[in-house]
């Protein structure tokens, strides 16, 4: 933490002329809750006068390359399940998710009741205060700085009386650490990679439809390939899945079972109370 906080040179001098305050978090998450290893992602929290947006830096990188070369050749699919935007100082989130070939958005209200502790700790020149909450079926610990005038944090963790520096759940499945900040002169446009996914505008759905789409994908993750097989009458058609040539329906069914195992293994969302439960 000492090493990363050395990068935060602008936090204590928030520019009033800035249109976007960008706070970069390192997210460590367990894709499989039974494993000890974490995967690391760099995530942006963009705050402007009207909105808050949280998304992966890889989306921003792909979008920047597209703007540089004037094309849409660079694409990225989010693997964290943590793309959200909301009006500032609210708990009303619009969530964005990739499901197979589709890109979708759905709205949720995610009010978090924080219990503010008197416990503090010092990280370099920053005094952080502790808070706890239950959210999404997990117990969370947060450390925030009340001198930074944003009641925001990564993902849906808003409502603290200051900016969140650290947040993690009690089992350390998800760990967020603030590593640096940027002040941008304009409201940063995200239309091509957040509200849309590189040409695919988000389709509005509700929670019931989200669960249905995820279950449909799980039940037959290669339905498109299966349709092509059926049209071709199981002959003169080769399909490549993950570098493996598939020549028959039986081989395709084997790949379906393998993919279903992967989906079950990595079914560890932040909000486990909204998890989709897949049958073996």
Q: Which helix (H) or strand (E) holds 257?
A: helix 249-265
pLDDT of residue 7: 42
Percent pLDDT > 90 in the chain is 79
249's torsion region: left (phi>0), alpha (psi -120 to 50) or beta? alpha
Looking at the structure, do residues 43 and 67 belong to the same domain, yes or no?
Answer: yes
Structure tokens at 236: 């003169």
Question: Which pLDDT band, with edges at 50, 70 and 90, does 9 fall under?
Answer: low
Looking at the structure, do residues 18 and 76 belong to the same domain, yes or no?
Answer: yes
Looking at the structure, do residues 195 and 216 belong to the same domain, yes or no?
Answer: no
CB 280 within 8 A of CB 264: yes
pLDDT over 90 at 230, yes or no: no
pLDDT of residue 228: 78
Looking at the structure, do residues 239 and 256 belong to the same domain, yes or no?
Answer: yes
Give me the mean pLDDT over the 213-242 stretch: 81
Looking at the structure, do residues 99 and 211 belong to the same domain, yes or no?
Answer: no
Structure tokens at 104: 């979708």
**Is 70 a domain residue?**
yes
pLDDT over 70 at 3, yes or no: no
Question: What domain range is 19 assigned to?
Answer: 2-110+172-203
More confident: 229 or 88: 88
Q: What is the number of structural domains in the chain?
A: 2
pLDDT over 90 at 246, yes or no: no
Q: What is the pTM of this model?
A: 0.92
Looking at the structure, do residues 241 and 192 belong to the same domain, yes or no?
Answer: no
**Is 116 a domain residue?**
no
**Is 42 a domain residue?**
yes
Looking at the structure, do residues 89 and 224 belong to the same domain, yes or no?
Answer: no
The span from the CA of 12 to the CA of 27, in Å, is 23
The span from the CA of 98 to the CA of 222, in Å, is 15
Question: Which pLDDT band, with edges at 50, 70 and 90, does 199 fall under?
Answer: very high
Which range (59-68, 180-189, 228-237) has the least confidence?
228-237
Looking at the structure, do residues 254 and 186 belong to the same domain, yes or no?
Answer: no
User: What does the pLDDT look like over 201-225, one tens digit per residue?
Assistant: 999 999 999 999 999 999 999 998 8
Closest C-alpha to 42, from 71, 65, 22: 22
**Is 20 a domain residue?**
yes
The span from the CA of 201 to the CA of 181, in Å, is 29
Give me the mean pLDDT over the 88-113 stretch: 96
Structure tokens at 180: 């640096």
pLDDT of residue 12: 46
**Is 223 a domain residue?**
yes
Q: Is 2 helix (H, G, I), strand (E, B) or coil?
A: helix
Looking at the structure, do residues 190 and 267 belong to the same domain, yes or no?
Answer: no
Residue with tokens 């998710």: 97
Give me the mean pLDDT over the 95-99 stretch: 97
């Amino acid at each position: 933490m000492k090493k990363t906080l050395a990068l935060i040179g602008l936090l204590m001098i928030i520019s009033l002329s800035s249109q976007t305050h960008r706070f970069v978090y390192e997210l460590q998450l367990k894709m499989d809750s039974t494993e000890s290893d974490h995967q690391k992602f760099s995530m942006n929290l963009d705050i402007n006068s009207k909105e808050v947006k949280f998304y992966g830096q890889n989306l921003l990188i792909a979008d920047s390359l597209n703007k540089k070369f004037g094309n849409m050749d660079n694409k990225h699919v989010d693997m964290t399940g943590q793309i959200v935007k909301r009006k500032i100082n609210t708990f009303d989130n619009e969530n964005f998710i990739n499901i197979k070939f589709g890109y979708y958005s759905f709205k949720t209200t995610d009010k978090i009741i924080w219990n503010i502790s008197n416990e503090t700790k010092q990280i370099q020149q920053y005094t952080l205060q502790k808070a706890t909450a239950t959210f999404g079926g997990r117990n969370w610990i947060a450390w925030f700085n009340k001198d930074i005038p944003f009641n925001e944090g990564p993902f849906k963790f808003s409502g603290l009386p200051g900016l969140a520096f650290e947040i993690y759940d009690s089992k350390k499945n998800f760990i967020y650490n603030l590593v640096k900040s940027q002040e941008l002169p304009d409201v940063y446009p995200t239309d091509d990679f957040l509200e849309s996914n590189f040409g695919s505008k988000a389709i509005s759905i509700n929670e019931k439809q989200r669960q249905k789409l995820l279950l449909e994908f799980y039940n037959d993750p290669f339905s498109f390939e299966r349709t092509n097989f059926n049209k071709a009458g199981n002959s003169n058609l080769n399909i490549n899945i993950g570098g493996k040539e598939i020549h028959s329906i039986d081989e395709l069914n084997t790949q379906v079972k393998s993919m279903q195992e992967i989906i079950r293994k990595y079914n560890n969302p932040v909000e486990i109370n909204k998890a989709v439960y897949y049958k073996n």
